[in-house]
Amino acid sequence: MLKFLVFAALLLFAAPAHAMHISEGILPLPWAVAWYVVALPFVALGIRQLNALSRQDLSYKPLAGLMAAVVFIISCMPVPVPTAGTCSHPCGTGMAAILLGPLASTVIASVSLLLQALFLSHGGLSTLGANIVSMGVVGSLAGYLTFKGLRAMGASLAVAAFFAGIQADWATYLVTSVELASGIRGAEPFLPLLEKIMLAFVPTQLPLGILEGAMTVGMVVLLKRKRPDILVRMNVLEAREVKGNG
């Protein structure tokens, strides 16, 4: 009787759930293992860099903790994409990569993805490697390289941060599409399936990428106004720019 009552309660009060990231069990085992192999070296290098920089600068570790919380919260905002077997969502890795570097951002994304897989049923353990590669490795690198490239060409801090946020987000979903198409295509040709998955993401990820660009600008500009010393220490700004010469 007790089991029946518990089951009835679950049916009455359960809310619809949508899997975040690449869902558990979607990728065949060989592909899941392959993405783990790709992800692990970046995570290992990131941990090594985090430890080294934390010893050099005591403020680095608290900033990394803050960015981990930001990435965790931002990437928990799902917009379901049923046709792709996953969800769209902001990522936050562009922001983290600008402030801490792409390797540290990869570690932050990995921790966020692991916690979401364990406690929120977002993504999964079998697909954790693939999700780290798309959101952590590629998203971080795309955001970081875009920011540094635009700054080298003379773009303002806000413009560079905006496009870094966009590129980090869109690059994440480009790679997610590749991972999904590679893993689930079976006998279907790769490119047509990849095109279908990418098109499925466009209605949600196009505006979400722009939103993430705006959020990245907001964070970086706020730090410039309130704590420019952090941006100088993290090599985001030069000291002369803080004095109003940039």
Domains of the chain: 18-237 (1.10.1760.20)
Is the per-residue pLDDT at 107 higher than 80?
Answer: yes
88 DSSP β-pair partners: 79
Is the per-residue pLDDT at 119 higher than 80?
Answer: yes
Provide the pLDDT for residue 26: 86
Task: Report which listed range, 60-64, 144-148, 175-179, is most confident.
Answer: 144-148
Only one residue has tokens 């979401």, namely: 116
Provide the pLDDT for residue 183: 86
Output the CA torsion 60→152→144→147 (10° steps). Answer: 100
Q: What is the rounded average pLDDT of the residues 132-142?
A: 95
Burial class (CB within 10 angstroms; exposed 0-12, middle 13-18, buried 19+) of 161: buried
Instruction: Report yes or no: 23 and 124 within 8 Å, Cβ to Cβ.
Output: yes
The whole-model pTM stands at: 0.85
